Structure 1
Amino acid sequence: MTNASGGAAAPQSSFWKSGHWPTLLAAFLYFDLAFMVWVILGPLAPAISEDLGLTPAQKGLMVAVPTLAGALLRITNGILVDDIGPKRAGAISQIVVIGGLFYAWFNGVHSFEGVLGLGVVLGFAGASFAIALPLAGRWYPPEHQGKAMGLAGMGNSGTVLAALLAPALAKAFGWNAVLGLACIPLAIVFVIYMIIAKDAPYVATPKTASRYFAPLKSADAWWLMAFYAVTFGGFVGLAASLPIYFTDQFHLTPVMAGYCTAGCVFAGSLVRPLGGALADRVGGIKVLMMVFVVAAIALAGVPQAAGLTAALGLFVIAMLALGIGNGSVFQLVPQRFSAEIGVMTGLVGMAGGIGGFYLASSLGFAKQWTGSFAPGFYIFAGLALIALAALMFVKGQWRRTWAAAEGVRI
Structure 2
Amino acid sequence: MLKEVFQSLRAGHWPTLLGAWLHFEISFMVWLLIGAMSIAISEDFSLSASQKGLLVGFPLLGGALLRIIVGPLGDRLGAKVVGLAILGLEGIGLLLGWLGGTSFESMLGIGLVLGFAGASFAISLPLASQAYPPTHQGLAMGVAGIGNSGVLLAAFIAPRLAEGIGWHQVFGIMLVPVMGTAFLFFWLVRSGSMRDETVSPKKDNIGLILRKGLQDPVMYWLCFLYGVTFGGFVGLSSYLPIFFHDQFDVGMVTAGTLTALCALAGGGARPLGGFLADRYGGLTLLQGLFLIITTLCLTSGNLDHFILTYTIILLIMLCLGFGNGAIFQVVFYRFKSIMGTASGFIGAAGGLGGFLLPSGFGWLNEKTGTFSSGFFVLGLVSGLAGISVMIFQRSIRVTKHKSIPEM
TM-score (norm 2): 0.93
Which residue of the other structure, out of 103, 107, 121, is the alignment partner of 1:115?
Answer: 107
Per the TM alignment, residue 360 of structure 1 is displaced from its structure 2 partner at its CA by 1.0
Output the amino acid matched with 1:71: A
Residue in 2 that maps onto 1:354: 352
8 Å CA contact 2:330–2:403 kept in 1: the answer is no
- Asked if 1:53 is matched to 2:46, the reply is yes
Which residue of the other structure, out of 112, 126, 129, is the alignment partner of 2:118?
Answer: 126
- Asked if 1:34 is matched to 2:32, the reply is no
Residue in 2 that maps onto 1:8: none
Counterpart Cα distance in 1 of 2:316 and 2:368: 24
Counterpart Cα distance in 2 of 1:374 and 1:218: 37
Residue in 2 that maps onto 1:254: 252
Per the TM alignment, residue 409 of structure 1 is displaced from its structure 2 partner at its CA by 4.9
Residue in 2 that maps onto 1:314: 312
Residue in 2 that maps onto 1:217: 215
Per the TM alignment, residue 408 of structure 1 is displaced from its structure 2 partner at its CA by 2.5
8 Å CA contact 2:96–2:110 kept in 1: the answer is no
Q: How does 1:78-93 map to 2 (within 5 A)?
A: 78-93=71-86
Residue in 1 that maps onto 2:172: 180
Residue in 2 that maps onto 1:397: 395
Per the TM alignment, residue 206 of structure 1 is displaced from its structure 2 partner at its CA by 2.2
8 Å CA contact 1:41–1:63 kept in 2: the answer is yes
Per the TM alignment, residue 303 of structure 1 is displaced from its structure 2 partner at its CA by 3.1
Output the amino acid matched with 1:22: P
Counterpart Cα distance in 2 of 1:268 and 1:175: 26
Counterpart Cα distance in 2 of 1:303 and 1:161: 30
- Asked if 1:146 is matched to 2:146, the reply is no
Q: 1:361 to 1:192 in 2, by over 3 A?
A: same
Per the TM alignment, residue 304 of structure 1 is displaced from its structure 2 partner at its CA by 1.6
8 Å CA contact 1:281–1:409 kept in 2: the answer is no
Q: How many residues align?
A: 393
Counterpart Cα distance in 1 of 2:334 and 2:266: 25
Residue in 2 that maps onto 1:375: 373
Q: How does 1:293-372 map to 2 (within 5 A)?
A: 293-372=291-370
Residue in 1 that maps onto 2:279: 281
Q: 1:25 to 1:211 in 2, by over 3 A?
A: closer
Identity of aligned pairs, percent? Answer: 42
Counterpart Cα distance in 2 of 1:228 and 1:256: 30
Residue in 2 that maps onto 1:408: 402
Per the TM alignment, residue 260 of structure 1 is displaced from its structure 2 partner at its CA by 0.6
Counterpart Cα distance in 2 of 1:260 and 1:381: 22
Counterpart Cα distance in 2 of 1:140 and 1:398: 27
Q: Which runs of 4+ in 1 moved over 6 A?
A: none
Residue in 2 that maps onto 1:268: 266
Question: What root-mean-square deviation, in Å, do the aligned CA atoms of Structure 1 and Structure 2 show?
Answer: 1.6
Which residue of the other structure, out of 54, 64, 79, is the alignment partner of 2:57?
Answer: 64
Output the amino acid matched with 1:408: K
Which deviations, in whole Å up to 9, do the C-alpha atoms of 1:39-91 show, x marking residues without a partner? 11112111001111111111100101111111111011101101110000000
8 Å CA contact 2:14–2:131 kept in 1: the answer is no
8 Å CA contact 2:76–2:206 kept in 1: the answer is no
Moved more, 203-212 or 268-277: 203-212
> Unaligned regions of 5+ residues in structure 2, if any?
1-5
Q: How does 1:189-208 map to 2 (within 5 A)?
A: 189-201=181-193, 204-208=202-206
- Asked if 1:97 is matched to 2:90, the reply is yes
